[in-house]
Amino acid sequence: MIGRARQFITAAMLALGLAGEAAAIDVNDWNSVVAEARGQTIYFNAWGGAENINAYIKWAGDEMKARYGVTVVHVKLDDTAKAVATVVAEKSAGKDRDGAVDLIWINGENFAAMKRERLLFSPDWATKLPNWVYVDHESKPTVLTDFTIATGGLESPWGGAKLVFFYDSARTAGGELPDSAADLLKWAEANTGRFSYPQPPDFTGSSFLKQVLTELIHDKTKLQKPVDEATFAADAAPLFAYLDKLTPLLWRKGKAYPQNYPDMKQKFADGELDIIFAFNPAEASAAIANGELPDSVRSFVFSGGTLGNTHFVAIPYNASAKAGALLFANFLLSPEAQLRKQDPKIWGDPTVLSLARLPAAERQAFEALDLGVATLGPDQLGPALDEPHPDWMTRIEAEWIRRYGAAN
Amino acid sequence: MHPTSGNGLLVVILGLPVLAGVGGTILPAFGYLPALGGFRPTTAHLAELAGQPHILRSVLVALAAGLITTFAALAIVGTFIAGFAGTPVFARVHHLVSPLLAVPHAAATFALAFLIAPSGLLLRLVSPELTGFTRPPDWLLPNDPFALSMIAGLVTKEVPFLFLVTLAGLPQLPLHRAGKLMAALGYGRVSGFLISLWPTLYRQIRLPVFAVLVYSVSVVDVAMILGPQLPATLPVRIAHWAADHDLKMRFLASAGALLQLVVVFAAIGIWLVLERLGKFALTLLTLAGTRLRKDLLPRAASGLAMAGCAVIVFLGLGALFIWSVAGLWPFPKALPGAITAKIWLRVLPQIAEPLFTTVAIAFSASALALVIAISLLHRDGRGGNGAGYKLLYLPLIVPEISFVFGLQVLAISIGFTPAFPSVLAVHLLFVLPYVLLSLSAPWRELDPRFEQIAAGLGKSSLRVLLTIRLPLLFRACLTAFAVGFSVSVSLYLPTVLVGAGRLTTVTTEAVALSAGGDRRVIGVYALVQAALPFLAFLVASLGPQLLFRNRRAMRM
């Protein structure tokens, strides 16, 4: 009866144009969120390309079921933009409620696009999650700005990322490793055909371009703002001069590229590539544990710094199970879930929590984690460079395709 | 009520969604997509498409690859049938090639890629002993700019399809009599067949040939794995635009899908010209009276090509299997250093649910399609050649990428929630044409005198259908079912878009995981994906034997 009455009131408010989404769910009243979530099924749209990540999400879903009676269905995507496309299609069809997507694993341009098109559940909810108190927003500013775009609490941080390079110590001596983009070019001259990067606009490949751009651009402050078309050609000139020299030295002389990070990893395992890179420092250790890479693989970074960022979860504006999505986002932030995620035997994704804020027992558990033989400790990862504004990625990808998109 | 008007209604209901989907794709190409603020008609997106870097090359490569694939597959199958029909070699190759139809394109493509890559199995087998390679050589293969590896991959898969539809048409030809006559006149096997029987045969398989042409010109998954990447072919670029993080790219994707439709029409147009030229050449050959007696070379080449297709796919599937149980397997070792069932043990429990969904959808869609096809054929009897039926064949002729997005918006607009029934409905759309195509030839072929006798004995039309025609066509029905089943299993884009990714099938899982590139996991999924339709075909060929144990004349 009560449910019926509430439905009626909500319907009436909607009819009068009084009810925003905030009226339906009050993030500040967490007990009501927990109560509302019970029995809900949430469709979590997340990249499904890695089996260990899928297993982690399965674990988190099982916990949600056991603890809160919430069913989590992992909708496995090959590309996050597919989930964005679903929300767009629903909006086209006027389906502003009961959408198919409840929670999306997201960051960067997908977030920027959804925020711009107002496709996200809009009040600031992320900072109101009970577990937000543990989040490290002092030393990890990227939990609040996603590629320079303020998150505004529209997405909740899930994990950290840092660009790290890998090499096989059985094939390449540690002393020969490059320490900057300029060094890498010299290394490629000496080792023709043994380096490449995933083909932009693949996320990892574009990140490599941004790394080089950040190192070589004359005025780094420009990267924190949208591209200035008037000076773009001059600003990006050092990057493309670099790529003009690098391209003929690449694997397949730049006439083909690995399609994404896992493809690049496979080519590294096959002995086609000698240096690769990933956005997760624990990738190599996880691959060694999996039997995909030999245990002679090691990591290195540039002493001048490499790109770092954060990935998030967000709720579409028309999600059908918002309470369940909020509860799940909160669970993903819990010390327990974050600890499990950072374990390289499970996933190895760096936490977004601040160890200093954690209760003693949890802090010790994090400190006791064995990060694996190929993973650099937090103190060895070097400085984190800020991600450029998403505009740069778009412009540079377009320019890359124009210049290198038809290899003859 | 005229008996066929009910049919007409059914045809319209099943055919219209495709046209509606095309509409839903074309509108955004001209700027209409309210969700993204597109209200005013504009040609800006078409102009943007024209301004895309290297777009002409993407179009031309897709077009050329599609035409060459179709021509090569048809030439191989045609020459093989001409050269070997009725011989023991024919039967042997038939058994070798038929199972290939069951292997989904994506699985066969992965298999081929694993074989031919510089770090692939073929080079591993001979390295470093014969080649001296201790590291994989820096060869541009696959993904070569001329799309040769992609053409090879497509031909490998299209040859079995064309071969099997050709087999369905073969019994209607006076193979032996024509063969004897042409031999008596001194013609070689191939030239004799070409002159006497090919025109009739070609007329029967023309629709499947066009289906092959359209598919090859607009293929996405095969082109992604084997095709050129800089630039990629047009369909691949459309798929990327549609999946771009910048939502405004959706307009560009729609404009691209419209261009794809034009490319397909262009391909069909060129093919029609080729048909004319072929006919002219055949007339010249006939009039010239050249006997072309020595045709051993083309015969041997076609036989080798046919067998080669099968061997490549089976070898590739074998390589996939080895990868699925491999521990660390560095180049140039011919075999992995360690064998482990770890991946299978980890993946099998996760695969159970998608597997169930896949089978449930494929079974329902092909059963439904079979019932619809039988009712259409029963009431119409013309074997699906009526003008109205052309609407049902639209999904074969309109490139998938040109109408699936429109269909998705349409499905949501009319209140379809992404769930089993809506996915089933869209699968039916793709499955039905193939089922109808496979069933209509044997349907026409059945000697009408059986039914005339039954009718003369006073049996009702329905009883005749149930007790005479369907038992006689039982094998054909099962084969049509198996074809439908394998089409449903391999559908990716419609399943993901209309199902909003909620219904996971083995294929959606395989494609999602292939983004992760782990050959071990890909191996497991590709094998499971290939096993499903294979089982369906096995049932189709064994079923009649078991069911008609006591009716010897009906066994084969």
Average pLDDT, chain B: 87
pLDDT in tens, A182-230: 999 999 999 999 999 999 988 899 999 999 999 999 999 999 999 999 9
Residue B122 has pLDDT above 60, yes or no: yes
How far apart CA A83 and CA A94 sit, in angstroms, is 17
Candidates A295, A272, A292, A294; CA nearest to B520 is A292
Q: Which residues share a beta bridge with A159?
A: A311
pLDDT in tens, B265-288: 999 999 999 999 999 999 999 998
Give the residue ranges of DSSP H helices in A161-218.
181-190, 203-216
**Residue A143 banded pLDDT, cuts 50, 70, 90:** very high
Q: How is residue B465 annotated by DSSP?
A: I
Supply φ then ψ for residue B356, to 5 degrees: -60, -45
Candidates B145, B140, B152, B151; CA nearest to B58 is B145
Nearest CA in chain B to A391: B246
Which B residues, 81 through 140, put their C-beta within 8 Å of a C-beta on chain A? Answer: 118-119, 135-136, 138, 140
pLDDT in tens, B463-484: 888 888 888 888 889 989 998 9
Nearest CA in chain A to B138: A252
Q: Which helix (H) or strand (E) holds A384?
A: strand A384-385
Residue type at position A110? N
Q: Which helix (H) or strand (E) holds A161?
A: strand A155-162
Distance from CA of B244 to the nearest CA of A (A): 6
Residue type at position B355? L
Burial group, residue B96, by CB count within 10 angstroms (0-12, 13-18, 19+)? middle
How far apart CA A368 and CA A363 sit, in angstroms, is 9
pLDDT at site A152: 94
B350 touches A: beta carbon within 8 Å: yes
Q: Of A76-80, A397-401, B256-260, B318-322, give the lowest mean pLDDT range.
A: A76-80
Residue A304 has pLDDT above 70, yes or no: yes
Q: Which residues of chain A make contact with B331, given a CB cutoff of 8 A?
A: 270-272
Q: Looking at the partner chain, which of B136, B145, B496 has a beta carbon nearest the beta carbon of A270? A: B136
Give the residue ranges of DSSP H helices in B227-381.
234-242, 249-288, 296-324, 342-380
Taking an 8 Å cut-off on Cβ atoms, the answer to whether B245 and A110 are in contact is yes
Q: Looking at the partner chain, which of B33, B246, B516 has a beta carbon nearest the beta carbon of A50? A: B516
Candidates B530, B483, B346; CA nearest to A52 is B346
Q: Of A47-51, A155-159, B70-74, B143-147, give the lowest mean pLDDT range.
A: A47-51
Q: Which residues of chain A make contact with B521, given a CB cutoff of 8 A?
A: 51
Kindly provide the ipTM of the predicted complex, given to two decimals. Answer: 0.81
How far apart CA A33 and CA A47 sit, in angstroms, is 27
pLDDT at site A230: 95
With beta carbons less than 8 A apart as the criterion, state whether A86 and B417 touch.
Answer: no
The single residue listed with the structure tokens 């490569």 is B61
Q: Looking at the partner chain, which of A109, A269, A272 has a beta carbon nearest the beta carbon of B246? A: A109
b or e along B320-331 (b: 16 or more beta carbons within 10 Å of the residue's beta carbon)?
A: bebbbbbebbbb
Candidates A388, A359, A321, A236; CA nearest to A40 is A321
How far apart CA B414 and CA B288 sit, in angstroms, is 62
Nearest CA in chain A to B118: A272
pLDDT at site A275: 97
B221 touches A: beta carbon within 8 Å: no
Residue type at position B62? A
pLDDT at site B196: 92
CA A320 from centre of chain:
24
Residue type at position B478? L
Taking an 8 Å cut-off on Cβ atoms, the answer to whether B512 and A50 are in contact is no
Does pTM top 0.80 for this prediction?
yes
> In the predicted model, what is the mean pLDDT of residues A40-53?
90
**Residues A144, A145, A150, A151, Cα dihedral to 10°:** -50
Does a cis peptide bond (omega within 30 degrees of 0) precede residue B231?
yes
Query: CB neighbours of A79 closer than 8 A, spacing ≥ 6?
Result: A47, B243, B515
Taking an 8 Å cut-off on Cβ atoms, the answer to whether B515 and A100 are in contact is no
Residue A10 has pLDDT above 80, yes or no: no
Q: Which residues of chain A make contact with B242, given a CB cutoff of 8 A?
A: 85
- Please give the structure tokens belonging to residue A378: 């937090």
How far apart CA A45 and CA A39 sit, in angstroms, is 19
Residue A23 has pLDDT above 50, yes or no: no
Pairing of strands A145-146, A149-150: antiparallel
Q: Which of B48, B123, B230, B407 to mutate to test the interface with A (most CBs of A within 10 A)?
A: B230
